[in-house]
């Protein structure tokens, strides 16, 4: 599991790079700035303000980053900066800003109302010049970048410059608070002399206010929004029904509902899709579509909204399942125990990850492999960790035969990154246990049969802002047909710690399997009857049938019994034919 640590940097190197980029080349660009105080208690609507893009920092942690959805990101994340001689320089999250922020078209958190969160930069010892840097694209098109900032026990300094040096540098030090106080917004309107440039903005501590708070002086950064003259704020759509991971039995009929808005015009059309297949469309609110007789399948639903300016944006997908019958699946989640004996629990198979490094994969020896190794969901790199809550042991493994009490596993960071596993599924009952966890994340666990012959399972109970979670999922299942799989996906649905948030995977165990082929042993006549024996397995039922002729065949049931792992004897008395045939049906 990963925990957040302080960040360190080389401020001397940074300042050299920054000021080299400000060498004046020409004066064909433009850059003007206006500072406006923000009234205490007021709310800033980032959706309406940031027609091209917006960013908010610090919703949950110092690394939380929310931005405008359905557009190409343009405003950069912040970099913490400071003067030479810094010992440490760190960004922290806070939640008592003097004004609040709201948005309705965000990602990864879609809607937030009146959050007073943000980030503050602190250098130890107190460092004049410590603060933040952000950037936004610049070319010959005029844009306006709004930067929402604050100060505590000090005066802030905003410096803005074009990367090609085609306009004079803008500097302002109007924002000052003797302690905690109201913030302000800088409106920076600019054009560059050429394409492919950037507007680089620094917000730093310029002076410290005298008094008891002087040792804690700092600058704060809350949000930024980008717009341009004549910019069309794209419409925003979200599917409100069905909800994510909804499951419907076949034949399925559902009303797909979407909420579509345009923040500077009107929505003219909404189109509904299942994957790339267009289901229908509507031009009038409420934006609904009735999907009738939907076939069995695993679908991703989206809604695409178009506004009166011809701009189109697509909603985040909603994942749904339409399932049939014939199989079964029951599911449970619980706190992981402190120790697990994989050999004892995984009678059919088991797996363990991360014993020595991120690619370590141990599994049960001398049995056919049944549980797969993981496939990575997403693009981030899988890493190994130690210090897991549950310690795993085994005595029948490969490549490591005996291991006692290893508290290791693997993890992956990043939203929607995670792991996929598979285990065999057929008509015979099995139980799969999956040991997972997470840090600074809300995890999403899914388990479903490949033939969708039973209702799938989804759970999001792994959720923590700062701490760790350790759980075990237990799935009991059978499929309607043979040669199927139970598919398990576990990934980060939402990050609370934007940098270090992760999901973890430690081990799995499997019980149950298809029965071994039955052999009729030692058949012999006994008087006017016949007797024989057969080897049984636990958890299976055996039906012995007989017939006196194979042409025509007419099987009759002789006896039924449950297997207990021993050799069972069967006797058929009073056989009325000189020839008798037997078969055994196992379930």
Structural domains in the chain, CATH included, are 11-227 (2.60.120), 236-323 (2.60.40.10), 328-511 (2.60.120), 521-586 (2.60.40)
**β-pair type (318-323, 246-249):** parallel
Query: 3-class SS at 420?
Result: strand
**β-pair type (502-511, 567-572):** unpaired
- Is there a contact between 61 and 71 (Cβ–Cβ < 8 Å)? no
Phi, psi angle pair for 87, to nearest 5°: -90, -55
DSSP codes joined into one string, 285-313: SSEEEEEEEEPSEEEEEEEEEEETTS-EE
CB within 8 Å of 13: residues ≥ 6 apart: none
DSSP codes joined into one string, 172-210: E---EEEEE---EEEEEEEE-SSSSEEEEEEEEEEEE-S
CB neighbour burial string for 467-479, b if at least 16 within 10 angstroms, e if fewer: ebbbbbbebebbb
Name the nearest CA neighbour of 146 among 158, 157, 128, 164: 158
- Angle made by CA atoms 416, 422, 423, in degrees to the nearest 5: 150
Query: 3-class SS at 18?
Result: helix
Rounded to an integer, what distance in angstroms lies between the CA atom of residue 354 and that of residue 295?
Answer: 40
How many helices (H) and strands (E) are present in the chain, helices listed first? 3, 48
- Is there a contact between 167 and 237 (Cβ–Cβ < 8 Å)? no
Rounded to an integer, what distance in angstroms lies between the CA atom of residue 567 and that of residue 533?
Answer: 7
Rounded to an integer, what distance in angstroms lies between the CA atom of residue 90 and that of residue 93?
Answer: 10
Name the nearest CA neighbour of 352 among 553, 118, 582, 508: 508
CB within 8 Å of 272: residues ≥ 6 apart: 256, 258, 278, 279, 280, 281, 289, 291, 301, 302, 303
How many C-beta neighbours within 10 Å does residue 387 have?
10
The half-sphere exposure of 254 on its side-chain side, counting CA atoms within 13 A, is 24
How many C-beta neighbours within 10 Å does residue 213 have?
17
Assigned token pair, 397:
């493994």
Rounded to an integer, what distance in angstroms lies between the CA atom of residue 35 and that of residue 125?
Answer: 29
Would you state the pLDDT for residue 87? 58
In 414-462, DSSP assigns E strands to 418-425, 430-449, 457-459
Would you state the pLDDT for residue 12? 30
CB within 8 Å of 396: residues ≥ 6 apart: 343, 364, 365, 366
CA 212 centroid distance within chain? 44
Name the nearest CA neighbour of 302 among 377, 233, 244, 378: 244
Name the nearest CA neighbour of 509 among 421, 410, 428: 421
CA 381 centroid distance within chain? 14
Query: 3-class SS at 580?
Result: coil
Name the nearest CA neighbour of 2 among 331, 261, 384: 384
- Is there a contact between 346 and 435 (Cβ–Cβ < 8 Å)? no
How many C-beta neighbours within 10 Å does residue 381 have?
11
- Is there a contact between 400 and 370 (Cβ–Cβ < 8 Å)? no
Assigned token pair, 169:
């540098």
**β-pair type (100-103, 43-45):** parallel
- Is there a contact between 36 and 174 (Cβ–Cβ < 8 Å)? no
- Is there a contact between 34 and 418 (Cβ–Cβ < 8 Å)? no
- Is there a contact between 539 and 513 (Cβ–Cβ < 8 Å)? no
How many C-beta neighbours within 10 Å does residue 186 have?
23
Per-residue pLDDT 10s for the chain (587 aa) are 332 333 222 333 333 334 334 444 456 999 999 999 999 999 999 999 999 999 999 999 898 999 999 899 999 999 999 865 555 788 999 999 999 999 999 999 999 999 999 999 987 766 788 999 999 999 999 999 999 999 999 999 999 999 999 999 999 999 999 999 999 999 999 999 999 999 999 999 999 999 888 888 999 999 999 999 999 999 999 999 999 999 999 999 999 999 999 989 999 999 999 999 999 999 999 999 999 999 999 999 999 999 999 999 999 999 999 999 999 999 999 999 999 999 999 999 999 999 999 999 999 998 889 999 999 999 999 999 999 999 999 999 999 999 999 999 999 999 999 999 999 999 999 999 999 999 999 999 999 999 999 999 999 999 998 889 999 999 999 999 999 999 999 999 998 888 899 999 999 999 987 777 788 888 888 888 889 898 887 777 889 998 888 888 889 998 998 888 888 889 888 888 888 888 988 77
Rounded to an integer, what distance in angstroms lies between the CA atom of residue 269 and that of residue 567?
Answer: 70
Would you state the pLDDT for residue 90? 86
CA 415 centroid distance within chain? 4
CA 173 centroid distance within chain? 41
In 228-348, DSSP assigns E strands to 236-241, 246-249, 252-261, 267-274, 277-282, 287-294, 297-307, 312-314, 318-323, 328-335, 339-341
Assigned token pair, 9:
């940097």
- Sign, Cα dihedral of 359, 362, 365, 367: negative
Would you state the pLDDT for residue 83? 67
């Amino acid at each position: 599991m990963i925990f957040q640590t302080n960040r360190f940097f080389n401020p001397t190197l940074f300042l050299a790079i920054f000021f080299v980029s400000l060498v004046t080349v020409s004066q064909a660009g433009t850059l003007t700035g206006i500072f406006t105080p923000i009234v205490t208690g007021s709310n800033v609507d980032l959706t309406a303000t940031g027609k091209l893009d917006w960013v908010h920092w610090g919703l949950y942690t110092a690394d939380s980053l929310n931005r405008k959805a359905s557009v190409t990101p343009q405003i950069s994340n912040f970099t913490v900066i400071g003067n030479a001689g810094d010992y440490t320089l760190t960004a922290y999250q806070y939640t008592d800003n003097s004004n609040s922020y709201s948005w309705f078209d965000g990602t990864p958190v879609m809607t937030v109302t009146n959050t007073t969160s943000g980030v503050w930069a602190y250098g130890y010892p107190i460092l004049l010049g410590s603060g933040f840097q952000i950037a936004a694209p610049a070319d010959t098109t005029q844009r306006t970048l709004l930067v929402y900032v604050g100060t505590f026990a000090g005066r802030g300094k905003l410096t803005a410059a074009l990367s090609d040096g085609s306009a004079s540098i803008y500097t302002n030090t109007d924002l000052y608070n003797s302690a905690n106080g109201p913030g302000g917004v800088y409106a920076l309107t600019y054009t560059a002399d050429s394409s492919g440039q950037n507007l680089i903005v620094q917000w730093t501590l310029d002076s410290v206010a005298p008094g008891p708070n002087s040792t804690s002086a700092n600058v704060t950064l809350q949000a930024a929004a980008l717009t341009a003259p004549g910019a069309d704020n794209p419409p925003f759509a979200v599917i409100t029904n069905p909800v994510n991971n909804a499951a419907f039995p076949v034949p399925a009929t559902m009303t797909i509902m979407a909420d579509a808005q345009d923040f500077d015009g009107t929505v003219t059309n909404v189109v509904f899709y299942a994957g790339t297949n267009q289901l229908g469309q509507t031009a009038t609110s409420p934006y609904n579509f009735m999907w009738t007789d939907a076939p069995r399948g695993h679908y991703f639903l989206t809604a695409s909204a178009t506004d009166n300016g011809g701009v189109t944006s697509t909603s985040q997908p909603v994942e749904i399942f339409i399932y049939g019958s014939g199989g079964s699946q029951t599911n449970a989640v619980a706190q992981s125990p402190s120790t697990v004996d994989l050999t004892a629990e995984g009678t059919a198979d088991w797996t363990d990850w991360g014993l020595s490094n991120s690619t370590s994969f141990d599994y049960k020896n001398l049995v056919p492999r049944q549980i797969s190794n993981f496939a990575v969901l997403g693009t981030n790199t899988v890493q190994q960790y130690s210090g897991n809550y549950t310690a795993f042991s085994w005595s029948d493994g490969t490549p490591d035969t005996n291991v006692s009490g290893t508290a290791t596993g693997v993890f992956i960071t990043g939203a929607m990154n995670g792991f996929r596993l598979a285990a065999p599924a057929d008509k015979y009952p099995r139980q799969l246990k999956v040991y997972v966890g997470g840090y600074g994340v809300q995890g999403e666990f899914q388990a479903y049969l490949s033939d969708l012959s039973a209702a799938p399972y989804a759970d999001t109970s792994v959720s923590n802002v700062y701490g760790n979670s350790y759980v075990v999922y237990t799935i009991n299942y059978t499929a309607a047909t043979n040669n199927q799989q139970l598919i398990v996906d576990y990934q980060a649905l939402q990050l609370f710690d934007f940098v270090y948030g992760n999901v973890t995977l430690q081990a799995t165990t499997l019980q149950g399997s298809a029965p071994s082929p039955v052999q009729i042993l030692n058949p012999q006549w006994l008087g006017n009857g016949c007797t024989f024996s057969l080897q049984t397995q636990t958890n299976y039922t055996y039906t012995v049938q007989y017939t006196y002729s194979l042409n025509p065949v007419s099987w009759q049931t002789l006896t039924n019994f449950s297997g207990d792992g021993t050799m069972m004897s069967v006797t058929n008395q009073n056989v009325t034919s000189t020839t008798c045939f037997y078969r055994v049906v196992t379930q």
